[in-house]
């Protein structure tokens, strides 16, 4: 921690900051240069009480250089975390593709899509039963009926299931069906939900919020880890952008950064980052090339009839083609598609 003083701070103001740091039981060290004076704090343990230094006269800002997450940090655990989903590993050197529709719309639709993706070697099926929608008048998902269909998909095609939990009241219900419980972007800072996810006996996939920093993302993961659930998978899904009229922007750079800062696996969602289908395959290739631990892709047997996100869902032929490309690319990158 560093307390940066105003240029106009008097020696008395500086001394008062030093005294306050001493009083808190930390050690103060002055860093001076012609441009600015700052006071470093040694022994700081991350507590919020140091915030109050910012209220002292003459203080310009406080700079924190330590991360506030611990369990999610690679400093705490050097080796990559590999989450085992009933025999399918996420993390390490594999590159699993999780695929399926945005929403489960009917038994027939789910079965048809499951068959398509299973044939391509997919082993984890995605499909929403509870859907967070921007408008209250949009299709909100089949709910419990959707979970039933997902259980049938699992049995018939030997696919593991990832599906979203939207609130503390239904997360346990979702976890009964799901092999991976997904927490969506809009709920990344729904701390009550994160705390409940920390108590689950199921892996959790946490999507990054639409304008969340890497630090906030890892702190959200820390909520789950701190609750006792160590099987957390991160998912980058695109940030809201300044300069793009449509769509989000897949922050592939953050995947590199997160792999350095954290031991947790991180996969990419090229579908939500695209909003338009023609971008999905190139972004999928890029995610593999940049080092992501897997993909979450939307596939639909009849995208033009989808009840949600049709424009970004891949039709069967394009999905097949994508899998061919990914397999060829993975060889050149020494990655394995399970």
Residue 87 φ/ψ, nearest 5 degrees: 100, -10
Reduce the DSSP state of residue 106 to 3 states and report it: coil
Answer for which of 11, 12, 35, 176 binds a second copy (CB under 8 A) is: 35
Q: Which CB sits closer to a second copy, 129 or 159?
A: 129
CB of 252 to a second copy, least distance (A): 5
Report the candidate in 253, 223, 220, 219 with the shortest Cα–Cα distance to residue 238: 253
Give residues 3-22 in contact with a second copy (rule: CB under 8 A).
4, 7-8
H or E stretch covering 180: strand 180-183
Answer for which of 25, 78, 87, 201 binds a second copy (CB under 8 A) is: 78
CB of 139 to a second copy, least distance (A): 6
H or E stretch covering 125: strand 124-126
Question: Where does residue 334 rank: exposed (0-12), middle (13-18), buried (19+ CB within 10 A)?
Answer: exposed
Answer for which of 247, 318, 320, 336 binds a second copy (CB under 8 A) is: 247
For 26, half-sphere exposure in the C-beta direction (CA atoms, 13 angstrom radius) is 22
Q: Which CB sits closer to a second copy, 15 or 276?
A: 276
Answer for which of 24, 82, 118, 329 binds a second copy (CB under 8 A) is: 329
Q: Which CB sits closer to a second copy, 154 or 237?
A: 237
Positive or negative torsion for Cα 14, 18, 23, 24? positive
Distance CA 199, CA 334 (A): 36
Residues in contact with a second copy, counted by CB under 8 A, come to a total of 123
Distance CA 12, CA 23 (A): 16
CB contact burial 125-151 (16+ within 10 A = b; e otherwise): bbbbbbbeeeeeeeebbbeeebbebbe
Answer for which of 13, 18, 24, 56 binds a second copy (CB under 8 A) is: 56
Give residues 256-315 in contact with a second copy (rule: CB under 8 A).
256-257, 260, 273-274, 276-279, 282-283, 285-291, 303-311, 313
CB of 152 to a second copy, least distance (A): 25
Answer for which of 10, 22, 63, 86 binds a second copy (CB under 8 A) is: 63
112 contacts a second copy (rule: CB under 8 A) = no
128 contacts a second copy (rule: CB under 8 A) = no
Q: Which CB sits closer to a second copy, 159 or 214?
A: 214
Q: Which CB sits closer to a second copy, 98 or 225?
A: 225
What are 179's two structure tokens?
């092999």
Q: Which CB sits closer to a second copy, 163 or 308?
A: 308
Terminal-residue alpha carbon distance, the chain: 44
Give residues 168-227 in contact with a second copy (rule: CB under 8 A).
168-170, 186-187, 189-193, 210-216, 219, 222-223, 226
Are 204 and 226 within 8 A, CB to CB?
A: no
230 contacts a second copy (rule: CB under 8 A) = no
Are 13 and 38 within 8 A, CB to CB?
A: no
The bridge status of strand 83-85 relative to strand 59-63 is unpaired
Which among 74-82, 104-112, 113-121, 154-162 is the span making contact with a second copy, rule CB under 8 A? 74-82
List the beta bridge partners of residue 41. Answer: 28
CB of 273 to a second copy, least distance (A): 7
Answer for which of 12, 49, 176, 317 binds a second copy (CB under 8 A) is: 49
CB of 149 to a second copy, least distance (A): 20
């Amino acid at each position: 921690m560093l307390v940066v003083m105003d240029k106009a701070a008097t020696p008395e103001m500086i001394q008062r900051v030093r005294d306050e740091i001493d009083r808190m039981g930390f050690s103060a060290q002055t860093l001076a240069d012609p441009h600015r004076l700052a006071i470093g704090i040694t022994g700081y343990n991350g507590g919020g009480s140091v915030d109050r230094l910012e209220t002292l006269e003459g203080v310009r800002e406080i700079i924190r250089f330590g991360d506030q997450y611990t369990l999610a940090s690679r400093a705490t655990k050097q080796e990559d975390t590999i989450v085992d989903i009933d025999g399918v590993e996420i993390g390490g050197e594999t590159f699993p593709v999780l695929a399926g529709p945005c929403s489960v719309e009917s038994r027939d639709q789910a079965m048809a899509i499951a068959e398509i993706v299973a044939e391509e070697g997919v082993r984890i099926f995605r499909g929403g039963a509870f859907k967070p929608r921007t408008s209250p008048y949009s299709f909100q998902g089949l709910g419990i009926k959707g979970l039933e269909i997902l259980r049938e998909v699992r049995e018939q095609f030997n696919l593991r299931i990832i599906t979203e939990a939207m609130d503390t009241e239904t997360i346990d219900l979702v976890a009964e069906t799901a092999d991976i419980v997904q927490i969506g972007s809009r709920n990344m800072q729904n701390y009550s939900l994160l705390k409940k996810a920390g108590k689950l006996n199921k892996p959790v996939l946490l999507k990054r919020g639409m304008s969340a920093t890497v630090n906030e993302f890892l702190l959200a993961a820390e909520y789950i880890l701190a609750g006792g659930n160590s099987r957390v998978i991160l998912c980058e899904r695109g940030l809201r952008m300044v300069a793009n009229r449509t769509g989000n922007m897949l922050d592939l750079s953050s995947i590199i950064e997160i792999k350095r800062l954290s031991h947790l696996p991180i996969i990419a969602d090229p579908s939500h980052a695209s909003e338009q289908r023609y971008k999905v395959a190139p972004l999928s290739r890029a995610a593999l090339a940049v080092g992501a631990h897997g993909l979450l892709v939307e596939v639909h047997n009849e995208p033009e009839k989808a009840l949600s996100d049709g424009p970004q869902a891949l039709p069967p032929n394009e999905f097949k083609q994508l899998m061919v490309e990914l397999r060829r690319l993975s060889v050149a990158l020494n990655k394995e598609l399970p």
